Amino acid sequence: MTAPPPPRFPTPTRLTPFTQFTGPQYFLLAGSLLIPLGSFAVLPFMSVLLHERLGMELGTVGVVLAVASFVQFSGGVVGAALAERVGLRRTMLLALVIRTAGFAAFLPGLSRPTWAVVALFLVSVGAALYLPANKAYLVTGVTEDRRAPLLSASSSALNGGIALGPIAAAPFVLTASAGLFTAVTVLFALITAGHAVLPGAPTATDPQPTSATNPQPTPETHPQPPQQAHPQPPQQAPLKADSRRPDATPPSPLLPFAITVLSVYVFMFFQHYLALYAVGRASTYFYGLVLALYALLLVVTQPLLSDWIARLPYPRALRIGFTALAAGMAALALGHPAAILGGALLICVGEIVLFLKNDLEALSRSDRSPAVVFGRQRLAAGIGAFASGIAGGEGYAWADRADNVGLFWLAVAAQCALLPPLLLRALRGSRR
């Protein structure tokens, strides 16, 4: 009598892609945790530091944050061009050197506004050069079905750092700022040293990964006609499905660029001004708790939903994402700590869907290298962040003078609800 085969215990389907990363990919994911940990020990408190410690006017603070955000995001185009010329690893190294120097420059900037502004811009330049090369290094040379797990894992690691940074820094950011900036500078110096030993491949000039560039056995060696055609639908199905819908969105590479501009524009109101709003109504500890829970939701949920988000039709993803953003901004207007926490978590849901889906759509609609695609996405984010900073500084100051900052968040919620359909209608009209 033949003995039954031993039982098999397969890895859960949802988690399988996250156990198959390479060594360099795991290292970059660890860096994606440590880099925002150091950055967000400082950057979320910039509006408080510039306004309350260095005495800048709120309007000036808004302009400084707007320009810094524009440099950080739109500079990704320069980072992408540099990555194609000198390689992904060298670009990341240069970016980290600049960013380390920026955090070191915050030490004299604690008493000199000019140094603080210069330091902020150095940190922004470093981020602009680093992020497109980092994302391109992760996804270059991998098959399309691996992109969503890698990008969602990177986002989760980044938001894990965002969660830990403010909590670790909250007791020191205003009372022991010099020690805090010194620790962050040392952390970035160590991360830079680690990047120096990364392998140079893949390069930024590698073709964009599709099923044709998958290094697995070709259909000629293993004829499987049904499977040969399978990798293509993730690229084309959303476009075909969109074109059949009554509210069809144009299948143009311009669409994810424009949606990214709008997504970041409304999101950065939350990013820039939640600190002033929450700290004034609770404490720095409560603000750190809000960011921690926000990031925890991202860390846990986005990887688990990455496959669903990748298959989600783009119009439906936009409705889900912007509805969550609008509801979250409206909740912030109530001003109660519980409403601030609930609104932040709703905004988190919008970020989970919109930011990952926009990157995946941009990759699937373009035939350029991943570094160029992510550079363009960073440019779109920079335009949105710049516009948000300019409008937000004056808008928040006006609402503060009127002693009703809740109006500021209601205005942002209205934009989340009204601007997306207007943008889609304008894009459809331009295509006709």
Q: Scanning the structure block, which residue is given the tokens 């912030």?
A: 332
What are 3-62's pLDDT values in tens digits? Answer: 555 544 444 455 555 566 777 888 888 888 888 888 877 776 777 777 767 777 777 887
Say how far apart CA 44 and CA 382 lie, in whole Å.
17
Do residues 42 and 106 lie in contact, with contact meaning Cβ atoms separated by under 8 Å? yes
| Phi, then psi, of 191 in degrees rounded to 5 | -65, -40
pTM equals 0.67
pLDDT band at 421 (very low <50, low <70, confident <90, very high): very high
CA 88/CA 135 separation, integer angstroms: 10
Query: Considering Cα of 217, then 240, then 147, then 77, what sign does the dihedral take?
Result: positive
173 falls in which pLDDT band (50, 70, 90)?
Answer: low
In single-letter form, the type of residue at position 322 comes to: F
Q: How far is residue 38's CA from residue 217's CA, in Å, rounded to a whole number?
A: 43
Residue 223 in this model has a pLDDT that exceeds 60: no
pLDDT interval class at 149 (50, 70, 90): confident
The rounded mean pLDDT for the chain is 77
Say whether domain 21-211+247-431 belongs to CATH 1.10.10.10: no
Render 76-106 in DSSP notation, one character per residue: HHHHHHHHHHH-HHHHHHHHHHHHHHHHHHH
In the predicted structure, residue 172 carries a pLDDT above the cut 50:
yes
Q: Does residue 107 surpass a pLDDT of 90?
A: no
Task: Say which DSSP state 415 is in.
Answer: H
Q: What is the pLDDT of residue 150?
A: 84
Q: How far is 253 from 258, CA to CA, in rounded Å?
A: 9
CA–CA distances in Å: residue 145 to residues 28, 142, 186, 210, 290: 19, 8, 37, 9, 33
CA 355 – CA 235 distance, rounded (Å): 18
Please determine, for residue 235, whether its predicted confidence score (pLDDT) is greater than 90: no
Q: Is the pLDDT of residue 381 over 60?
A: yes
Burial label for 86, CB within 10 Å (0-12, 13-18, 19+), is middle
Closest C-alpha to 213, from 150, 141, 139? 141
User: What value does the mean pLDDT take over residues 404-413?
Assistant: 89
pLDDT tens track for 339-354: 999 999 999 999 999 9
Confirm if 269 and 329 have CB atoms less than 8 A apart: yes
Q: Is 321 exposed, middle or buried (0-12, 13-18, 19+ CB in 10 A)?
A: buried
- Distance separating alpha carbons of residues 299 and 209, to the nearest angstrom: 26
Alpha-carbon distances, residue 236 vs 30, 72, 89, 233, 241 (angstroms): 33, 32, 32, 5, 9
295: Cβ–Cβ under 8 A, 6 or more apart, which residues?
159, 160, 161, 162, 163
Distance between CA atoms of residues 167 and 287, nearest Å: 9
- CA 105/CA 218 separation, integer angstroms: 53
Task: Look at residue 242 in the predicted model and tell me its pLDDT.
Answer: 43
Q: Is the dihedral of CA 404, 405, 406, 411 positive or negative?
A: positive
